[in-house]
Amino acid sequence: MPTYAPAPVRFVSGSGAHLVDEQGRDYLDFISGIAVTSLGHAHPAVAEALCTQARTLLHVSNLYGNALAEEVAALIDRLIGDGSPAGGKVFFANSGAEANECAIKLARRFGGPGRHGVVSAYGSFHGRTLATLHATGQPAKHEPFAPLPPGFTHVALGDIDALARAADPTRVAAVLLEVIQGEGGVLPAPPGFLAEVRALCDERGLLLAIDEIQTGLGRTGRWFAFQEAGILPDIVTIAKALGNGVPVGACWARAEVAQAFRPGDHGSTFGGQPLAMAAARATLETMVALDAPRLAAAAGERLAAGLARIAGVRAVRGAGLLLGAVLAEGLDARAAVAAALELGLLVNCPVPGVIRLAPPLIVSPDECDLALDILATALERVGAPQASRP
């Protein structure tokens, strides 16, 4: 179906931060399948775990216990607690949208009859199922699919007064936010906003759900972006990097909240199956061994500083290795992305005027420098005065 508009290139193999196309040409991958392959392509630990598991056991369904899923859930819980158990429970799904769908249903179940509302932010992106599409704060994406499930309200990211007006505790169950809106143009929430939202939710008995599908697992320089604000959400959704390319999503919730679900309330035929869990365990254990947040913070600092020196880049926003280069007025970001591809660099353009960079967390300093050189040349090709990066 014509649901995508793929670039004119087909990749046949990859290693680390590099991809190879059908003609044998090498590319630097600085989008990582949209923040998915955080350990790089064909990571040996993940590949070995998949091969071993495929030869052992692929599927038994959720009719039976699953020790591997319990082990991965414990790893996630410890990372959410920033090294200590956070005391939550995990539901495994196959994607970020499914993880958010679980979060929305859980919030409604916890809120009870009449309290089914969810408040999210304009510019957000929470998935493409009907419920997560309506949770997404981009009205243009809603229109072709109306009517959408009711109960969703949107406010400007960072506007605590608007959020307070929308968060009526008699009808609202939860607030759902991204700490950095990746699809919204790598747009961070203002400093202090999350702490204000946490206090508001506590005051009104609402759940705070944080969508960490793009930002989670080290990408922003913390295990989870919400940790920078010094808060603990009630629900956290995870996907993209969790399987380093293998489809797997997860919805974590505080134990008290998770108990709202009863058997039969929610489910997934493939969620938590052994192959996905083997990939997730290998990915998480490797990330812990490498101290993935430290890698992202160090490489992100180098990359952000280099981006700021490129002619045509007006501002740099984001954190760690989720960065947005905001272009000077008149520069076409989509054309720049296409020019970068021609030169051997993969980046993308989530909104007009912004180029998103999300390389693997294991990217080297030399690879960062090469990507900066290519991007500077690409911007020259679309009209920037010159590449001024040393």
Is 125 catalytic? The answer is yes
Structural contact between residues 61 and 69, judged by C-beta atoms closer than 8 angstroms = no
Rg (CA), the chain: 21
Question: How far apart (Å, rounded) are the C-alpha atoms in residues 244 and 37?
Answer: 4
The active-site residue, picked from 29, 77, 211, 234, is 211
Angstrom distances, CA of residue 293 to CA of 219, 239, 310: 6, 17, 26
Question: Residues 204, 179, 68, CA angle at the centre, nearest 5°?
Answer: 95
Structural contact between residues 323 and 304, judged by C-beta atoms closer than 8 angstroms = yes
The active-site residue, picked from 92, 152, 224, 240, is 240
Is 240 catalytic? The answer is yes
List Cβ neighbours of 356 (8 Å cut-off, separation of 6 or more). 31, 182, 185, 186, 322, 323, 324, 347, 348, 349, 350
Is 110 catalytic? The answer is no
Structural contact between residues 186 and 318, judged by C-beta atoms closer than 8 angstroms = yes
The active-site residue, picked from 30, 91, 92, 125, is 125
List Cβ neighbours of 229 (8 Å cut-off, separation of 6 or more). 179, 192, 194, 195, 198
Catalytic residues: 125, 211, 240
